[in-house]
Amino acid sequence: MTAIESIAPLTQTLRPFPIIADRVLKLVKEEDVDFQELTQLISTDPMLTSLILGLANSPIYGTINRRIDSLHRAILILGRDHVVEAVMVHIMRSVKDSIQESWPDGDIYFWQHNIAVGIVTRLLTTNLHLPYVQQSLVVGLLHDIGKLLLLNFKPQAYLQILEQVEKFKTPLHVLEKEYFGFSHAEAGYAACEKWNLPTEFAETISAHHDPPDSDINSLANLVRNANLIVKIAGIGKGGDPYVSTKNLAQLPHARLRWSTMQQIIMSLSDVVNELTSMIFGSSLVVHTRVMRPLQQMPKTPVFVSIIDKDEQLLVRYILTSMGYSTRADFQENKSTIRDKDAIGIIVTDYPDQFPRGVQMIINYQEWRTEQGEQPDNSLNVASLRNWLYKQLLLEAIPAAA
C-alpha cells in the first residue's frame, strides 16, 4: 500500500461541507453576485449570520468605526472575498465537530495555533499587497488539520508521538513520517481533496514543512512564515515547538519593515482571542498565556546582541511578543553600542564585552549551549521563550533584600 492509499481511511470520518456552505460558495462564484439572494440564503443559518456580523464588526477587517447590525450591510461591507472566508470558518466549526479525539491540554489550544497562523498569513498578504486575499486566512486556518486526522486515526500512537517531540528533540512532521509513512501535511492534502477545495489550497498545505520556495511571495512561504511567527509568539499549541532557522531570509517577513512586524506580533494575541471567541463561543476561549508580571513592568528597551542573525531575529520577535521594544546590535563581529554604560538590558553571546553598569546581562550562550546542535538548524522556541521569561522575571521582581 502506498502512503497516499494509507491516508484514505483518515478522511472517512470527516463530515462533508455543510449544505449552506456549498450553496453560498456556488452563488459567489457567479460573475455578478446577487447580494440580495446571498443575504437571503445566509440568513437561513443563524450561526453563519452571527459569524458574518461578528466579522463585519471586527478590527480584523479594518476600517469599521460604527456597529453594523444588518446582515445585508455586513455582507456588502465584507464583500465577496470575506464572505467566502466566513463560510470557510463556518466549515471549520463542522470539521471540529467531526473530530472525536481531544488535543492534549485542550482543543482550543490547537485551534488557537491554527487561527493565529490564519491571521498572520492574511496580515502578511495584505501588508505585502499579494493577490491571496481569498486564500490566506483559510489556508492558514487549515494548515495543520492533518494532525487532527492522525490523532483521530490512531489516538494512542499519536499522543505518544507528540510526547516524543521534545524527548527526542525532533520536529513532529519527521516523527509522523517515520511512524505513518506520511506527515500531517500530506494528511491535510487528503482532507482538502475530500472537500474538493482548490488544488492550490491542498498543495500549499501539503508543502508547509518543506524548505522555503525560491519565489519569496508564494502562498506556501506565507504559511511557513506565519507558522514560524505564531510559534515564536507562543500563541496556542500545535504540538511542535521547533522552528528551522535555515533560509529564514527567504521568507516574506524579510521584505517587511521592522515596525510592521512589530505591529503584527504585538496585536496578535488580542486578534486571535477575538476570532477564537467568534468561532467557538467566548466561554470556550482560553486567553493566550499572558506573561503577567512582565507585562505590568515598565519596559526597558532590550539590546539583542547575538552574532547569528537568524537567532538574533528570533530573540527579538519573542521579546516583542512579551511587550518589549528591542534594538538589534552586533554587526560584523563587533558590538555597535557606543555608550555601554547607558544600556538597560542586553541579551548577548558576549557578556564580557559589557561593563557592570548595564542593568542586566542575559547570556544567550547559556541557553544555546544547553540545546546542542539540532538537525536542520531547528530550535525549540517554546524553551527559548520560557528561558528568556525566567531571566527577565528575575530582573523584574528582584529578590527581597
Site residues, Fe ion (CB under 5 A): 144, 227, 238
Q: Which is nearer to Fe ion, 238 or 252 (CB)?
A: 238
**Cβ of residue 145: shortest distance to Fe ion, in angstroms?**
9
CA dist list (Å): 263 to 155, 180, 303: 38, 40, 19
**Cβ of residue 213: shortest distance to Fe ion, in angstroms?**
16
**Cβ of residue 165: shortest distance to Fe ion, in angstroms?**
12
351 contacts: CB under 8 Å, gap ≥ 6: 361, 363
**Cβ of residue 153: shortest distance to Fe ion, in angstroms?**
16
CA dist list (Å): 37 to 17, 44, 238, 260, 279: 20, 11, 39, 39, 24
Q: Which is nearer to Fe ion, 54 or 241 (CB)?
A: 241
Let me know: does 184 contact 240? Beta carbons within 8 Å: no
**Cβ of residue 240: shortest distance to Fe ion, in angstroms?**
7
Q: Which is nearer to Fe ion, 227 or 273 (CB)?
A: 227
Let me know: does 279 contact 92? Beta carbons within 8 Å: yes
Q: Which is nearer to Fe ion, 78 or 232 (CB)?
A: 232
- Dist CA 45 CA 20 (whole Å): 8
> Which grid cell is 322?
512579551
Q: Which is nearer to Fe ion, 111 or 132 (CB)?
A: 111
Q: Beta-strand (E) ranges in 241-339?
A: 242-244, 302-305, 326-328
Q: Which is nearer to Fe ion, 144 or 329 (CB)?
A: 144
**Cβ of residue 236: shortest distance to Fe ion, in angstroms?**
9
**Cβ of residue 211: shortest distance to Fe ion, in angstroms?**
14
**Cβ of residue 277: shortest distance to Fe ion, in angstroms?**
21
> Which grid cell is 253?
517577513
> Which grid cell is 281?
463561543
Q: Which is nearer to Fe ion, 48 or 205 (CB)?
A: 205
- For residue 230, the surrounding DSSP H or E stretch is helix 219-233
- Dist CA 28 CA 72 (whole Å): 14
**Which residue of the chain is nearest Fe ion when measured via CB?**
238
Q: Which is nearer to Fe ion, 191 or 346 (CB)?
A: 191
How many CB atoms sit inside 10 A of residue 218's CB? 17
Buried b (16+ CB within 10 A) or exposed e, 182-213: bbbbbbbbbbbbbbebeeebbebbbbbbeebe
